[in-house]
Amino acid sequence: MLIGVPREPKGETRVAATPVTVKQLIALGYDVVLETGAGEAASFADEAYAGAGARIGAAEQAWGADVVLRLNGPSMPETDLPKSGSVLVCMLAPALNPELVDALTARTITVLAMDAVPRISRAQSLDVLSSMANIAGYRAVIEAAHHFGRFFTGQVTAAGKVPPAKVLVAGAGVAGLAAIATAASLGAVVRATDPRPEVADQVRSLGGTYLPVEAGERMDSSDGYAKATSEAYDAAAARLYAEQSADVDIVITTALIPGRPAPRLLTAADVAAMRPGSVIVDMATAQGGNVEGSVTGEVITTGHGVTIIGYTDLAGRLAAQASQLYGTNLVNLMKLLTPDRDGTLTLDLGDVVQRGITVTRGGEKLWPPPPVQVSAATAPAAAAIAQPVVTRRPFPVAAKLTLTGLGVAALFAVNAFAPEPIPRHFTVLVLAVVIGYYVIGKVHHALHTPLMSVTNAISGVILVGAMFQIGVHDVVVRTLATVAVLLASINVFGGFAVTRRMLAMFQKGT
């Protein structure tokens, strides 16, 4: 089958395939044709595509392929370009474009919406919204830094002390977390808020401070996407935003709800309360905006000097990187749709991922798909069942002392009457038990995994003892000593290897 990659509409810098992903598509058995100049805006020349094995052709050839890969959905006039029976893969926003969905259904083509991927673990490699949001969150901080008149990081210089910038990130989804990590890496004091309290640990791990909204309720999602909040939550959040906007220097808003207008987070009064020179990046202007007064695609400055950035192409401002990630998402999809790696696309509607992104198929409208349960809401606490109170009688002190005395007497008896070298070995055994109990037995269970990796080095005692026994003439003893050396060595080196890997998880890359 032939895969076509047409040019994107004017103003779009990204492209649906890069020279790297073209090679991967060809390895799946497909032929690839790109429209002339399709990758120019992302700095991918036609020669690079040709070197990767693709053909360069006219727009008619790209649109007339068996499978058409595009980043943006077609305009209404472009719905006539794909041939009947072909497959169109793009970001379509079907919930917001019902007329476009109807027009594509009438064309008897199959349309797969990359922005409708279910939020399940198996589909993460296809999740275009996450890959683009990651780039957009990073770029939002860069744009804010460009318009901000001071350092992000605090400094003490001969010319005076520079305080760090204060950044508030509204929403700790993929874009928000990327913004938090970027702002923190630049040295800013970062705060973040989100309806989901479970993201607090993620915010802290990236160097931010989580600000909870005290609304007395949880915001759980059953499909992995954000959902509308309640009036009580909105009122509590409004108070938080009003308080924070007067204190911070930069606000980055990321709140979006699929298929619905963006929620309003900052009012005109909140913006007016910010200091002159402050910056707001509204990442939701394409769906109405989170900030009152933001303008889609533009940068404005209020009368008292607050800059509001309303760019809708934040991911496209890193065109080469965004194209590579989007192209990789498409390659992962084509791998799923090409199980035999023979260049033949096979759509299985029994697969929840493939069904979730299928908008139309052969003239049949399949949108919206059946709901996919990806996370369970917090179950209400079950009513406590009265249980009979069982009173445990304490162990008598006299019995404890008696057992302790018998143990000591047994130890002395062994040391008094056992032949050498059993008393010495028995003493070492008892000491090892005591040390092991206090070193390991008293460790909290939450620390067992990292700590046990280190305390496995106690096996070194076994290793040393076994090495002394290897020279014994008895074949049985020598064999057992050899096995002990082997097993103890594995335990020692394996323990340190596991510890090293676990510590590396908490270290920043250099």
Catalytic residues: 119, 124, 127, 130, 225
Given a contact cutoff of 8 angstroms between Cβ atoms, the answer to whether 107 and 79 are in contact is yes
d(CA 178, CA 246): 24
Q: Which three-class secondary structure state does DSSP give residue 356?
A: helix
Q: What is the DSSP string of 370-381?
A: PP---SPPPPPP
Query: Contacts for 479-488 with beta carbons within 8 Å, 24 or more apart?
Result: 488/459, 488/460, 488/462, 488/463
d(CA 125, CA 178): 18
d(CA 398, CA 396): 5
d(CA 173, CA 219): 13
Task: State both tokens at 474.
Answer: 């008895």
C-alpha 137 chain-centroid distance: 13
Helix axes 128-147, 319-337, angle to 10 degrees: 170
Distances (CA, A) of 97 to 48, 76, 104, 255, 328: 35, 11, 11, 20, 26
Given a contact cutoff of 8 angstroms between Cβ atoms, the answer to whether 285 and 295 are in contact is yes
